[in-house]
Amino acid sequence: MNRRKFLSLASAGVVAATAPVNCRPAAAAGNPEAAGVLHDSTLCIGCRSCEAACQSVNAAILPKPENYRIPEKPFYDRSVLATMRRTDFQRFTVVNRYDMEGRRPVHRKFQCNHCMEPACASACFVKALFKTAEGPVLYRPELCVGCRYCMVACPFFVPAYDYDNALNPLIYKCTMCAPRLASGELPGCVSQCPEKALIFGKRSELLKIARERIAESPEKYVDHIYGEHEAGGTSWLYLSPVPHKFLDQPEVGNEPASRLTSGILESAGAAAGILSFLLGAVCFFGGRRKSGAAEIDGARASDGGTHKEVSQGDKEDGQ
């Protein structure tokens, strides 16, 4: 990771010649006391209650299942679990089942991970996406231009787009039920989980719980809390009995997204300054005399500015 950062800085540095580059901590750094959710997939039975709850508490934003443009089986039908689904403009969360030889199938819940330093927020050029101090990464639809750079940037492939909407296409992703949190309620999915596979709490507390569970029954879990360090840490955390990559939880590296671009962005200004000074200097004192200047002086002459021409000549002699 250090090398990568070094290179991007070096690359900016070459453009800037000797730009003073210092990487500040990302502006959107998450609050460790903020809210998060822990999903323990050893407890998840794939009942899809969370999917149903999510739909009903977000009924203002999401369509009813019977109005889906891409039809889906009703929430009580568990046969869809085996098909690999993802979130889209009609649903903020899905649960997929992963069948593995020699063991019980593992269920994995998918929704926005609410990164501590979100790539989407760092990539958004209108600040339509932002991390709140309380934990959720939220979206202001009234600002969204629809460039979809957040979708490119998100290492977890979370933001979804309503491509078939011509007039008001928007990004769709989980809000961690921020309005419910504000009124002291649990996120919809957590509130309806019958197996307590989802726990809501402070991220620091959840990490403690997760570590305890791994320590208590190391045979049950892989020794990894997905989301503790991934992409600089996420508010959602996951425990799994199998390596997370088998659950389509990609290895994304531990560097927060904002650090990947802050260096180059900060040095852009310095690069512009130094480059304009150098080119300006060449232009003034250097080669310009040979050709472009003739053209410009010619223009002066045809402008009728004989006086200027003389003063220009003086300057030339002085050099």
Residue 152 as a binder of another protein (CB under 8 A): the answer is: yes
Q: Work out which of 24, 86, 104, 196 binds another protein, going by CB under 8 A.
A: 86
Q: Work out which of 243, 298, 310, 316 binds another protein, going by CB under 8 A.
A: 298
Shortest Cβ 98–another protein spacing (Å): 14
Q: Which is nearer to another protein, 218 or 286 (CB)?
A: 286
Q: What is the DSSP string of 92-117?
A: S-EEEEE--TTS--EEEEES---BSS
Q: Which is nearer to another protein, 194 or 304 (CB)?
A: 304
Query: 5-33 burial, b if ≥16 CB within 10 A, otherwise e?
Result: eeebbeebbebbeebebeeeebebebbee
Of residues 168-197, which lie at the interface with another protein (CB under 8 A)? 168-170
Residue 70 as a binder of another protein (CB under 8 A): the answer is: no
How many residues of this chain interact with another protein, rule: CB under 8 A?
Answer: 87
Q: Work out which of 105, 296, 310, 313 binds another protein, going by CB under 8 A.
A: 296
Residue 96 as a binder of another protein (CB under 8 A): the answer is: no
Q: Work out which of 83, 133, 163, 285 binds another protein, going by CB under 8 A.
A: 163
Of residues 192-251, which lie at the interface with another protein (CB under 8 A)? 250-251
Specify the stretch interacting with another protein by CB under 8 A; choose among 59-67, 85-93, 217-225, 233-241: 85-93
Q: Which is nearer to another protein, 2 or 67 (CB)?
A: 2
Q: Which is nearer to another protein, 28 or 193 (CB)?
A: 28
Q: Work out which of 228, 300, 309, 312 binds another protein, going by CB under 8 A.
A: 300
Residue 47 as a binder of another protein (CB under 8 A): the answer is: no
Q: Which is nearer to another protein, 123 or 206 (CB)?
A: 123
Q: Check the CA dihedral 28-31-32-37 and report its sign.
A: negative
Q: Work out which of 20, 60, 70, 127 binds another protein, going by CB under 8 A.
A: 127
Q: Which is nearer to another protein, 233 or 241 (CB)?
A: 233
The mark string for 1-40 relative to another protein (x by CB under 8 A, - otherwise) is --xxxxxxxxxx-xx-----------xx------------
Angle between helices 257-285 and 2-15 (to 10 degrees): 20
Q: Work out which of 17, 59, 215, 299 binds another protein, going by CB under 8 A.
A: 299
